[in-house]
Structure 1
Amino acid sequence: MASAAAGSWSKRWIRPEVWPLFFATGTAVGICGMQLIRNITGNPEVRVLKEKRAAGVLENHDEGKRYSQHGFRKFIDGRKPEIMENLNSWMADPPK
């Protein structure tokens, strides 16, 4: 009976149509995991160890700025918040 259930599971889920769902879900879980690890290890407001929690509120502005101004934010800083800048400018101000 167990082999019949295993056979139906593989027929249902191991098909080519389902692989994009697996990849999308795996990517989302990976991104969430990376963000969780980044927050636990690098966020100055998160203190896992009891000794660090006893310190209370710290006024460590440099560490907070270093955490918030990461590489991707520095890359997009100062750019227009548009996805297709050329298309948007052409639609807003078409050539005459």
Structure 2
Amino acid sequence: MGSDLDGFYVRVGGKELYRGWDQFTAEYIYYSILCGKALVRVPADEKLTIEAVSSFKKDLNRLRDEINRMVEITVPDAKIREEVRRIASRKVFDRLRG
């Protein structure tokens, strides 16, 4: 997901799946794909899209903070900590997809 002078976009595997001016729609599509959805239906009500994205981001940040806290406590080596964080985050999304 990113943005440029033509608006917000979502790319997967080099293929652009969405381009538009609505950041929340782009984020909604991005997070849906990240969670394994093959078909994404964006709510017609923009307020629902904003609420869904905001809630997901809040939960995701809370989860990342908890992963970081646990890794800091349990892994003494800084290099290994980064690798553990990356693996843990990947496992979380693998779990969401499955």
Superposition TM-score tier, normalisation by shorter sequence: 0.3 to 0.5
Q: TM-score, normalised by structure 1?
A: 0.35
Q: Which one scores higher on RCO, CA 8 angstroms, separation ≥ 6?
A: 2
Greater Rg over alpha carbons, structure:
1
Higher strand share: 2
Q: TM-score, normalised by structure 2?
A: 0.34
